[in-house]
Structure 1
Amino acid sequence: MTFTHALTDGERQRHSSSFGTAAGAYAEHRPDYAPEAVRWALAGAPGPRVLDLGAGTGKLTGTLLALGGLDVVAVEPDPAMLAELRRGLPPVRAFQGSAETIPLPDGSVDAVVSGNAMHWFDMAAAGPEIARVLAPGGVLAGLWNVFDDGTDWVAGLARVTGPAAIGPRDVPAAWRIETAELHLPRTGADSPFHTAEQAEFPHGHRRTAESLVATLGTKAGVLVMPEPERAELLARARAHLAGHPATAEGEFTLPLLTSVLRVRRRS
């Protein structure tokens, strides 16, 4: 998968709507988020009311709940992903809706966060909606888990699988360049939002070779592939992991960074 801004509107829709076909695998194999990254994302929010927007199966929602002291609500457009969230986190108030049409009242949350989803938003419509539901001084933060390709075997995995599985946006250097410009509402003096801040936090995901291959299989670029291509790509990943001492047998930690973009709503 190439940078999301290189996709046509049709391709973008096809990619963003692909996750429901693998909702169970997504819930089982995608990582959660570094708690310190989530704390940083929420720092300075005027209160405890947090919306997880584009919540998927609840990976970020679960991290928010584990922090304690937060009043968390989730919004997710895909029915299959939402069903997994409700099954895994039954106490959470979870609604079907989108970033462009948020089913919450004006000023009803103190923070809006989004895990590995903000790049799918139509920010021209989503930006005003997010500003609408945020209380004055509220925080908007996007979080992305990116592969730490400073580790040799991770860099090698990216090479053998190609951009569909570990694309440019999935590695730190490209994430820093791309997200600041593309995946936030417009900021500036005539915007509801102040200038963005970025930060990164070490994270990890315990995997085996087979469960990491399953994780790659939940990537949008892989989900939309014709089945023969998908099988070939995952076979290359499996062979690479089997041939590396760090990943050939048993469990290992996939090194990640939880990368965060944060903006504050003007008071």
Structure 2
Amino acid sequence: MSDGVHRAAATGFADGADIYAASRPGYPAEVLDWLRDCLAIGPDSKVVEVGAGTGLFTRLLVDTGASVVATDPVPEMLAHLASTLPGAATAVATADALPLPDGSVDAVICATAFHWFATPQVVAEFRRVLRPGGALGLIWNVRDVGVPWVRRLSKITDRYQDDAPRQKSQAWRAVFPAPGFTPLHETVMRYDHAGTAEEVIVGRTLSTSFIAALPEDRRAVAVAEVRAMIADTPALAGRERVAFPYLTKAYDCRRIE
């Protein structure tokens, strides 16, 4: 990301900001415990969220009472965030050039975002803005592919991926262990995103960057495949509400002096 924003993110997230805000899953309530116990975030903390998007995770940071700066390279995403979370400062910025002084924050957070910019240069930038002993937190909602219909859905959407970075590739792990940081510690939580199938499955599909960035005709084909899968799945077809199961995986480490 040091040379710019990946085209799937720049196009897909800009064009799909509305559906992203409406259809992405939130996070389990236990995340507040993770923020407090693993990252030591509280009312006196200064936090920067990198890749904040429309603010789905930012609202949890604001709830801790911390002073929050939300950054993202896509202005359309931050416009949603600013309209719903006036208590958070925002800045259009890439992960390798944060508009913050050295050692100025207690924590850096990336929520469902770090895979887009996982480079040694970005981790070094995080270390620059963190105070000694400050925390780096990475968190994702990962589809529970142990559920057959979720696995089938992923097979449909994976065909459209192209070269867009994704958490599931685990390529982001290549930058760890990182110089100047303690080893990563993992916390796993469960989360069910409940709603209509159109909201939590079709909407979630449309909010995926590489689906949103498709030409309209190919995007329509992908959505038709997803709707056919729903109609063919007894656990989903005709249900007023369904639950999309996730494993929320959170990682934390500390800046070494």
The answer to whether the superposition gives a TM-score over 0.5 is yes
TM-score (norm 1): 0.84
**Partner of residue 249, structure 2:** 259
SS of residue paired to 1:255: strand
Q: Where do 1:157-236 residues align within 5 Å?
A: 157-164=153-160, 169=166, 174=168, 177-181=170-174, 184=175, 187=178, 191-211=179-199, 212-236=201-225
SS of residue paired to 1:157: helix
TM-score (norm 2): 0.87
Q: State which of 33, 36, 39 in structure 2 corresponds to 1:39.
A: 33
- Structure 2 runs not aligned, ≥5 long: none
- Structure 1 runs not aligned, ≥5 long: 1-8
Q: In the TM superposition, what is the alpha-carbon distance from 1:123 to its structure 2 partner?
A: 2.1
Q: In the TM superposition, what is the alpha-carbon distance from 1:110 to its structure 2 partner?
A: 0.7
2-structure distance, mates of 1:103, 1:71:
15
2-structure distance, mates of 1:44, 1:78:
27
Residue-by-residue CA offset, 1:25-55 (whole Å, 9 max, x unaligned): 1111111222324532551447622211110
Q: How many residues align?
A: 248
Whether contact under 8 Å (2:9, 2:210) holds in the other structure is no
Q: Where do 1:50-129 residues align within 5 Å?
A: 50-66=47-63, 68-121=64-117, 123-129=119-125
Q: In the TM superposition, what is the alpha-carbon distance from 1:95 to its structure 2 partner?
A: 1.4
Q: Which residue type is aligned with residue 76 of structure 1? A: D
Whether contact under 8 Å (2:110, 2:137) holds in the other structure is yes
Fraction of identical pairs, as percent: 36
Which stretches of structure 1, 4 residues or longer, exceed 3 Å deviation after superposition? 44-47, 160-165, 167-170
Residue-by-residue CA offset, 1:115-165 (whole Å, 9 max, x unaligned): 111111152331221111101111111111111111122122223333437
2-structure distance, mates of 1:76, 1:244:
37
1-structure distance, mates of 2:149, 2:79:
35
**Partner of residue 16, structure 1:** 9
